Structure 1
């Protein structure tokens, strides 16, 4: 039951961060970005790997732009940050 509440809190926190101006999204966004894999692993352990795959798909869908930015940085490219 605790996992469910943690996931619900994570979702509401993500929505709240998305409503912030872009310059205020970085720190809470990084925290949510780092917390998501932990929650997905917990979902996989407690519920099953299919639920974890669905959670991973939702996570990648929500955070596609930051993940693409990180991927571009790892490739040595210099992507632009929005203002």
Structure 2
């Protein structure tokens, strides 16, 4: 099937009237969509909660560990001329 045949087939499909949709399909689609939205909202809230918890833990760790301070030396410098 070359390009012109494909275009003609698509035009024939588009010129036909749309098929009838069963009445119960609408209700099923609405319920499924609402369920998907609830799940996405719950997932988004959970991710924000995890992100906030990580930020708090990082802030507490940085305040207690102070990683930017140079660690103390464990050896003493040699004493000369005493």
TM-score normalised by structure 1 residue count? 0.28
Give 1 or 2 for the bigger CA radius of gyration. 2
Greater RCO, 1 or 2 (C-alpha within 8 Å, sep 6+)? 1
